[in-house]
Amino acid sequence: MIKRSLEATIAKKLSDHKAIILLGPRQAGKSTLLQLLKAQLKQPIAWWNGDETDIRSLLEKPSSTQLKSLIGKNKTVVIDEAQRIENIGLCIKLITDNIKEVKVIATGSSAFELANKINEPLTGRKWEYHLYPLSFGEMVAHTNLLEEKRFLHHRLLYGYYPEIVTSPGNEQALLKQLANSYLYKDILTWERIQKPDKLEKLVQALSFQTAQLISYNELGQLCGLNAETVEKYINLLEKAFIVFRLPAFSRNLRNELKKSYKIYFYDNGLRNAVINQFNPVNLRNDTGQLWENWFISERMKFLNNTQQHVSRFFWRTLAQQEVDYIEDTNGKITAFECKWNPKAKGGLSRAFSNAYPDAVTHIVHPENADEFLLKQTN
């Protein structure tokens, strides 16, 4: 079984009274991680699943007395897909406040739904973590650096969902099943979306525009939606951990873009499944997009798994001078330019270096990407 980086971090929080909230996309390995932690959890354990109708019904109007009866002699309560339970925030609050010997761990595949239901009731009562699909660093730890680097072309096409990684030869079929079964499931459940076919068109349009500037108006024209609905749908796709946006970095220089976004997918494989495009890397015309999406999503996982908190951006001027990816760590600026070909001419934008002379800059390519994705040990 592939060890997850967050396992040790979460294990350290098992002995206190706070609830643990674990967010991430469906099929990313949240339940498997909890199984790995099972031996360290206080026994016995109650496992509840928010996808099950009877669980949702029992917890619809929770009270301390009812919860004590449901929990019985269990010392840990694990609640999978907790966003499906209407009053989950109140449930967890009642347990943490009134049944202090019981530890609560809740997982959710919707940041939108679960955050809305838990943030206010659980202020000061929770630890919150994000679990994404497997990372480059986790796979290096599972095998070794040389082997994972040899798999790079494969990862650009098929990504890192655990089932995909552990089922060689079945990647395309499994990714298509994942996309069809889970991609829209939660969104269509949470938001009574009237036009699911247009949501699907939007995801396909975003796939083609991966690592590019997006325009809500242009996307709306492609999909038959107005700009406001496009923005709403993209927000929902973000909350379901399908895509994420990078905002423009600006220190108010007049020639900088200020209100624009670039779009990325959390997983390359899911992106390729949406447009049914699995041609080899050397036969594609979107390899630069795949590489940029891979590096930026992997860097996001690395920062998450090592509990580093940074603000993330891209930079672009009205004259279309651009830097692919920027991190702001308490005012310290680090800029990354993604190049698939290590020998490609051209470096980081001179206009950016002139505007931000104190910024640390890097050109990232397949030969050196591991320097930014593995925890340094001195």
Q: Rounded to an integer, what distance in angstroms lies between the CA atom of residue 32 and that of residue 38?
A: 10
Contacts with 320 (C-beta within 8 Å, 6 or more apart), sequence order: none
Q: Which residue has the higher pLDDT, 249 or 194?
A: 249
Please state which of the ranges 161-170, 176-185, 210-219 shows the lowest mean pLDDT. 176-185
Q: Rounded to an integer, what distance in angstroms lies between the CA atom of residue 353 and that of residue 365?
A: 20
Q: Is the pLDDT of residue 61 over 90?
A: no
What are the structural domains, with CATH classification, of the chain? 6-130 (3.40.50.300), 136-372 (1.10.10.10)
Q: What is the mean pLDDT of residues 304-317?
A: 94
Q: Is the pLDDT of residue 123 over 90?
A: no
Cα radius of gyration (the chain) = 22
The DSSP letter of residue 286 is -
Q: What is the mean pLDDT of residues 1-13?
A: 93
> Model confidence at 378, in pLDDT bands (50, 70, 90)?
very low
Q: Is the pLDDT of residue 15 over 60?
A: yes
The per-residue pLDDT of the chain, averaged, comes to: 90
Q: Which residue has the higher pLDDT, 293 or 36?
A: 293
Query: b/e per residue, 49-88, with b = 16+ CB within 10 A?
Result: bbeeeebbebbeebeeeebeebbeebebbbbbbbbbbbbb
Within 101-200, strands assigned E span 103-108, 126-130
Q: What is the mean pLDDT of residues 287-292?
A: 97
To the nearest whole percent, how much of the chain has pLDDT over 70?
A: 94
Question: Roughly what angle, to the nearest 10 degrees, separates helices 227-239 and 196-208?
Answer: 80
Based on DSSP, count helices (H) and strands (E) in the chain, helices before strands.
Answer: 18, 12
From residue 240, give the alpha-carbon distance in Å to each of 111, 233, 236, 341.
Answer: 7, 11, 6, 33
SS3 at position 27: coil
Q: Rounded to an integer, what distance in angstroms lies between the CA atom of residue 33 and that of residue 376?
A: 24
* Structure confidence at residue 88 (pLDDT): 86
Q: Is the pLDDT of residue 281 over 60?
A: yes
Residues 192-237: tens digit of each pLDDT = 676 678 888 999 999 999 999 999 999 999 999 999 999 999 998 9
Q: Which amino acid is at 21?
A: I
To the nearest whole percent, how much of the chain has pLDDT over 90?
A: 67
Q: Is the pLDDT of residue 121 over 90?
A: no
> Which is nearest to 25 in space by CA: 353, 297, 227, 377?
297
Q: Is the pLDDT of residue 134 over 80?
A: yes
> Model confidence at 115, in pLDDT bands (50, 70, 90)?
low
283 Cα distance to chain centroid? 28
Residues 312-369: tens digit of each pLDDT = 999 999 888 899 999 999 999 999 999 999 888 778 889 999 999 999 999 999 999 9
